[in-house]
Structure 1
Amino acid sequence: MSIKRKKIYEEIVDIILEDIKSGELEPGDRLPSITDMAKTHQVSSASVREALNSLRVMDVIEVKHGQGSFIKQKMPLGFEQNFEIITRADIENLLELRKIIEVGCARAAARKVDEAGLGKIKEALDKMPTALENNELGEQADYEFHISIAESTGNPLLVSLLEDVSETMIRTMKETRRIWLYEGHKSIEKIHNEHKLIYEAIRAGSDEAAAGHMYDHLLGVEELLLKHY
């Protein structure tokens, strides 16, 4: 069995997490600039940027536009446990899988969905603007929307495939919505409209339209995330 060596950015993440746990870095503290951290650790700015992206996904730091990166006032649940870092490869692999499975799910749902299934999809869709108004990220509603579509196909194997990657899905949905919130409300409206198009196509029984809207949505998510990783 081969021993996996940590990447440079993972080592930077570990250093910052240890500094938080030891009290050297406290909630609300501003982290040094990317340039200063690169000099301190004798690494590239790209490695520092990737480390900060990972810490943001973990909910350990927040980035304030024009001010820098800050340790969050409240640490995420289970902070003392090891964090699993999302990498660019994780995103590429997950979105490839989602495009393969969920495009087919949307097509099948448009053909098979019943009133109960349609109601469940609509319920998840309706939660999204409410989550935004309450300043929540809404990734749980996002996940419920997509898993409800899989459930409405009547195929438990499709549901099981998505449930197997549910943790990674929710974490990437959380990061996607962070970026959209950072970029402004128009971006959030765009994502909600994309979900509405998928729902309306399924409700109308338009299988190819449902598949097409799902593919466009997932492609947009992939492009957005990879732009920041």
Structure 2
Amino acid sequence: MKISNKKLYEKVADVIILDINEGRLNTGDRLPSIKALSESFGVGQATIREALNALRAMGYIDIKHGQGTFITEREEPRFNFEAINGDVKDIENLLEVRSIVEVGVARLAAKNRNDEDLLAIESALKDMKLAIKENDLGEASDLKFHLAIADAAKNDILKQLLLNVSDIMRHTMKETRRIYLYTKSKSIEKLYNEHKEIFEAIKIQNAQLAQSKMAFHLEEVEKVVLSNIKKTES
């Protein structure tokens, strides 16, 4: 399958996710080598590496050095996004869960991050910047950013909590970014800057500032999303 559209690694990742969801790839299956995948998709090996890193961050694969890349067992999301889409209270609850978990995750990430973690978070930021230039919503890079912070926190249980709702997070991030794009008082650029400030706080290992910046970001998202929903309902 040849892929020629922008943001190639996301397109590659989406195809592999679809193969997993539709049963063509199952838990324990070993993916072909990076070279073979590169030839199969018609893209460079660097693009395949980016796609695999994104899939690992989302919990779809496990990369075992010297052995290969394997499909992992993922729990189904606990919430049905389509079912909660029109229920303001359920969406409020979901945003509240994110706030409770991710503020703590940001604090721990600032304390425990290493240089490799910073590179992963910064990579997601660069993807967001590219999305702005290409007029793309960039929800995949948004999710990649938050999961990279979860990695940096070094707490497997907190990371698993986010992975359990990662599919729903991606949907809500997409809708949030769509609202930001068409709301005059907000912008995708502002959203990017909020993420950048979280990264900078984690980089300097200021735990209090990191949790403050994450809390502010999620509060802003909640305001925009719920305000838009209520306007739609009225």
TM-score, L = length of structure 2? 0.60
Match runs of 1:75-114 below 5 Å: 83-86=82-85, 87-114=87-114
> How many residue pairs are counted as aligned between the two chains?
148
List aligned pairs for 1:1-229, cutoff 5 A: 83-86=82-85, 87-183=87-183, 187-229=187-229
AA at the equivalent of 1:111: K
Matches of 1:157 and 1:186, distance apart in 2: 34
CA RMSD of aligned residues (A): 1.7
C-alpha displacement at 1:84, in angstroms? 4.3
Deviation at 1:183, TM superposition (A): 2.2
- State the secondary structure of the residue aligned to 1:137: coil
- What SS does the corresponding residue of 1:228 show, helix, strand or coil? helix
Mapped partners of 1:212, 1:160: distance in 2: 23
Letter in 1 for 2:216: D
Say which one has the larger Rg: 1
Structure 1 partner of 2:7: none
Contact persistence 1:91–1:222 (CA under 8 A): no
Q: Distance in 2 between matches of 1:119 and 1:154?
A: 15
**Contact kept? 1:94, 1:169, Cα under 8 Å:** no
Distance 1:144 1:185 in 2: 26
Structure 2 unaligned spans of 5+: 1-80, 230-234
TM-score by length of 1: 0.62
Deviation at 1:189, TM superposition (A): 1.2
How far apart, in 1, do the equivalents of 2:186 and 2:83 lie? Answer: 31
For residue 135 of structure 1, report the CA deviation from its aligned partner. Answer: 2.2
Do the aligned partners of residues 218 and 177 (structure 1) sit closer, same or farther apart at CA in structure 2, a change above 3 Å counting?
Answer: same
2:84 and 2:158 mapped to 1: Cα distance?
26
